A and B are shown apart, each in its own frame.
Chain A
């Protein structure tokens, strides 16, 4: 039996822009994935804990507040601490190109900005999980 792809979608920090996170969550569901939607105002600790309990393949972080360079590295650090570096992290939202390059260098698997076709998001996640 093919295992279901499980994804955690969370919005770290105080950012209230949740449209993108919801749209992406629905698109992933419609692509057959099981999406745990954790909602707004998640701390990196909460995100890591949820990812652990839910045994997800992917964590998707949606950040439009500009705080990505503070938040994403903390999530990555906590994952490493918990021996969970095999969980793929994707980031979406308002992320300047140079920051995106930094995030990728730190281990983020993909960064997606406004206007990204949902198909591209679905394909990137699926390739990352199934490709392993």
Chain B
């Protein structure tokens, strides 16, 4: 992403798009999302225009292994929210191919029942090289939907193994999906995924083994003692520590909920649990702490990018190459070279 864009001389076209999107124009909304996704100066301007109007939506993340039923469940959840008149934005992320840069985005296939409802907006996103389970711009896209007035924003991550935990930082409530599995497969449950869970769903509860899975997960979370016949399995998986709260009131215990997204069962229970978590997060200060944590992380990372690109521009490619030569020929070590070059830079934008 190109940075050092000056945000204050806002492009009137982007401003107009933002105004249109916020007053319900879905075409403008779609365009803005593309702008934000594309990055660069236009994205910065769009976010600057929208940001003051954000912070109202409830962001719910849905993650879990490939094929666990994330899209199907997101569709069912959206239907439930629509029954209580809440508008729903959906961001569904699928991986980009590392070889071609292209992507096949298939989550919409499972969401056909939502079509025709003007209070639902579904957007598919490719990761474009990001590895944390979301795209770089997913958070910004939720901002756009938030500003456009969608009350609930459901974010579906790529099919996640264990390292795709970005959703835990973005979402106010994170749902981790598991499916019924055999003893061997249970050993493959990764504690890392459960650590980001505010709620755990055992989906495909219409298939055999769901109750055992619930017991195992509850045992892993320390919510109950493990079923006797599964002791050997559980010895192999590490126990999970709840992510708790930075404000020191980490007394939330993730619940385990059974659903069958296919048969539309257990959805009301799940929606209720999401509401209970949201309620807890607000009352405990967890939500406010979460927002600050997220803001701090974003600010630091933007500062890093901004300083890096300014420094790079000041130093110039020639100097960089000269330093690379010296490092490669062992005349200078990489650490000293970096410090030496950084020392020649000025921080203020000025005549960069």
Contact = CB atoms under 8 A, between A and B. Distances in A.
Given A28-B102, A32-B100, A37-B105, A55 B124 contact: no
Interface string B13-52: 0000000000000110011011000111000000000000
A3, A25, A29, A50: residue with the most chain B Cβ atoms closer than 10 Å: A29
Contacts of A42: 112
A25, A36, A83, A84: residue with the most chain B Cβ atoms closer than 10 Å: A36
Nearest to A10: B108
A23 to B, nearest CB: 12
Given A29-B97, A34-B126, A46-B115, A52 B27 contact: yes
Contact of B26 (A26, A29, A30, A53): A53
A26 B34 contact: no
Contacts of B39: 1
Contacts of A128: none
A35 to B, nearest CB: 5
A52 B100 contact: no
Nearest to B99: A30
A28 B105 CA distance: 12
B34, B39, B115: residue with the most chain A Cβ atoms closer than 10 Å: B115
Contacts of B121: 53
A1 B36 CA distance: 12
A59 to B, nearest CB: 13
Nearest to A50: B108
Contact of A37 (B38, B99, B106, B115): B106
B140 to A, nearest CB: 15
Interface residues of A, number: 31
Contacts of A41: 112
Contacts of A84: 27
B314 to A, nearest CB: 22
A6 B115 CA distance: 20
A36 B31 CA distance: 16
Contact of B102 (A1, A32, A46): A32
A28, A31, A38, A82: residue with the most chain B Cβ atoms closer than 10 Å: A38
A13 to B, nearest CB: 14
Leading 5 A-B pairs by shortest Cβ distance: A29-B102, A55-B30, A39-B109, A32-B102, A46-B115
